Structure 1
Amino acid sequence: MMSQDLANQIATAARTAFSRLFEEHPEDFYYCTLITTGEGLPPAPSAWSWQALDRTSAAQPNPEKAKPLLKWSYSESPYWLFGDEAFEPVRRRFAELVDPHSLPTEGAFVEEIDRRVAAMESAMKMLDDEGLFGTGARRAGMVVLVEMMPPDVRNTERALCLNRPGPVLDTWLEEAAE
């Protein structure tokens, strides 16, 4: 069962991080995500804008080859961990949660990880419902995600739940989905 309190705490941190990002970097963002691991570590923010992608790929030896490789890479974005300090209370909260490795069965382990990821997904949905990621054309041009690394098919399932059908989601599904 997903903890609404945990989702609210993650939403508070993500709201702070992404709001600051959008304010300090008024660019055309197409990708905003929270990243976690298969062990359910606390979420970490990342984002890409078209302008950041152009700048970052232009700095590569072969910009046109680099661009598609960078486009959906959370860790190669200049905005990887932007505003991460806002997640310190979330990290403390995760440290207080049960250690999933201490659980007696694989099923219990999976259930605990799923609960954490569900809280992250709920947080991003709350922020989307508030309009943090924009409305109208701005929101239609952005994919909002909760991604587990290493990637698995559930990343795609969450993407379909968090985003309306449209060109940017279609592109993500074609280029990056599992």
Structure 2
Amino acid sequence: MCTEKDNEELMEALITAARAAFLSLKETTKEHFYFYVFVFDEGMHPYISAWSYESLEKSIKEQQITDEDKSWWKWDSADSPYAVYGYDEFFGEVDALLDQRASKLSDDELYETEWKVRIELMEEAMKRLDASGLFGTRKERECVVINVEQAPPDGDGAEYDRALRLNPSSVLLSEYLETCETPESD
């Protein structure tokens, strides 16, 4: 099992990698981003994705997205042209730490306990990046949605709950939440 020190080391690596990737994306493209997401998939290694208004408009035209599908396409992190942006450049230390952690765990531990720990650390990383002002402040921040997504979604509404925890209330957040699987009522 990984220690609190191991978790903090991974947290710092996640913050460093995600900050560098998001900043590089913003500086390289000079586009107006409305969605930043940290994605965790069955490969067990996180990556970023994002959407800007410019990339959305271009993608809708190129992919011939129908009016009916535009509302979910706007938030589909897998189809963003910026999915996995900067992975090779910025996530080397994260990869090494995750591989090191995995080597100490059984498959059951890796795909149960460690899976949850990694998503929780990614959420905390996004929270800390947000607190640093990376995604904007005040009114500017209300024009951006951030989240941590699992691919494929697990169906338990965790993505919805994380979005509520990570974002201030806004019209844009409400729009995003409409595309998320909601938590089941008890």
Q: Structure 2-normalised TM-score? A: 0.84
Once residues 104 and 78 of structure 2 are traced to their aligned partners in structure 1, the CA distance between those partners, rounded to angstroms, is 25
Give the Å deviation of 1:65: 4.2
Q: For 1:13-68, what per-residue CA distance to the aligned partner results, in whole angstroms no more than 9, with x for missing partners? A: 0000000111112222111001112x571211000011110011011335534533
Structure 2 unaligned residues grouped into runs of 5+ = none
**Matches of 1:19 and 1:54, distance apart in 2:** 22
Matched, 1:71 2:74: yes
Residue of 102, 109, 134 corresponding to 1:98: 102
Residue number in structure 1 paired with 2:124: 122
CA RMSD in angstroms comes to: 2.2
The one-letter code of the counterpart of 1:61 is Q
Residue 7 of structure 1 pairs with residue 11 of structure 2: yes
Q: Give the secondary structure class of the aligned counterpart of 2:91.
A: helix
Pair 15,62 (structure 1): closer, same or farther in 2 beyond 3 Å = closer
Match of 2:26 among 11, 15, 22: 22
Q: State the AA in 2 paired with 1:6.
A: L
> SS of 1:175's equivalent?
coil
**Which among 83, 89, 97 is matched to residue 86 of structure 2?**
83
2:58 is matched with which residue? 55
CA contact (8 A) 1:53 1:67 kept: no
TM-score of the aligned structures, taking structure 1 as reference length: 0.88
- C-alpha distance in 1 between matches for 2:107 and 2:153: 23
Deviation at 1:162, TM superposition (A): 0.8
What letter corresponds to residue 76 of structure 2 in structure 1?
S
| Identity in percent | 35
Letter in 2 for 1:23: E
For residues 120-159 of structure 1, give each alpha carbon's deviation from its aligned partner in whole angstroms, at most 9, with x where no partner exists.
1111111100000111222111111111111131111111
Counterpart AA for 1:29: F
Aligned length: 175
Task: Give the C-alpha shift of residue 8 in structure 1.
Answer: 1.0
Would you say the 8 A contact 2:159–2:180 is kept in 1? no
Instruction: Return 5+ residue gaps in structure 1 as ranges.
Output: none
Larger relative contact order (C-alpha < 8 A, sep ≥ 6)? 1
Q: Determine if the alignment matches structure 1 residue 156 to structure 2 residue 178.
A: no
Judged with a 3 Å threshold, the aligned counterparts in structure 2 of structure 1 residues 24 and 104 are, in CA distance, closer, same or farther, namely closer
